Structure 1
Amino acid sequence: MHNHLILLLVASVAALAAPSLFERYEARLSSGQPEALDRGPDVVEAAAPPPVLPRETRISADWSGHFRTDALMNGRSIPVLVDTGASLVALDETTARQLGITPAASDFRHSVQTANGVGRAARARIDVISVGSVSVRNVDALVIRDAELPQALLGMSFLTRLKGYSVEDGRLTLKD
């Protein structure tokens, strides 16, 4: 009941005020002066984000025509040979330990063909590999016994995860 009385009171005040408000509005219109409108909000142009350009890293061939560089693997600088003939990134045991990868002896159950002949390897995963401004996360790798792998190989498990790579004028370009 109390709510009905409040509603009735509000409706009565509105009914009494409406005619006088309407009469003032009508008088302003008939005076010939243009109706003033509130100023609208200011228009602010938003800055568009800069276009994302592909990141590229270029590596020059060495005297023998190979592409050697330093790759940042799990935050550590590792000298690598870029090898399109290697299916996976390949690390020797010592380098793998530097990256925090320590396979058990029983993990060396995969047979691999290396430049030094047939060897045994353990599967591993590297959290992040960066070469210059190009980075790839969660890269499959092999850990090969120290004596069977003279240098870490940056193989296809890294290269195929890039937007592209090409060789031109003795330079390898990696695109991310």
Structure 2
Amino acid sequence: DVISEFTRDHLHREVQRSQGRLDTRRMYDRTGRLTRKLTCKGMRGVVPETFIDREYAYSGQDELLKKRHSRQGVTDYFYDTTGRITACRNEAYLDSWQYDAAANLLDRRQGETAQAGAGSVVPFNRITSYRGLHYRYDEYGRVVEKRGRNGTQHYRWDAEHRLTEVAVTRGNTVRRYGYVYDAPGRR
């Protein structure tokens, strides 16, 4: 049995990945941007069942404008004239970001409520709390911990700033995922 199989196009982009019963196909536009990612169950069978279907639309400046997700609906993205994201909206939420004149991200929260125009500079542009998740960083600005209601994730990095381990804790269960790299730096 094949555990995982990859197919690449002439530009060496991944166009198909098979993992057990799941088969994911990726489609790109003329400029190489991902436009669709379709994951189906049972592709080797007669009639595959769509598991997740995602479509992406971009601006002329390569900014992601819209994401259509078969389970999460449509998400729209908005940017300022310098290309910084200013808002993200879908059926479940509206997030917005503001920046000061030096392009520092502003913290728009006062306690747990957002107030337009209010906020102070986010230290080192490192968000420490967002949508119920809490983040910790190391001296290099890398995320080393992410905590939320579903558990905690700890991240380890090597001297070349490559992710080497993720430890996921849920209740009393800890799962560890390790990553190794070859000489050219491929995972």
**TM-score for the superposition, normalised by structure 2:** 0.18
Structure ranking higher on relative contact order (CA contacts 8 Å, 6+ apart): 1
* Bigger strand share: 2
**TM-score for the superposition, normalised by structure 1:** 0.19
* Bigger helix share: 1
Instruction: Answer with 1 or 2: which has the greater Rg.
Output: 1
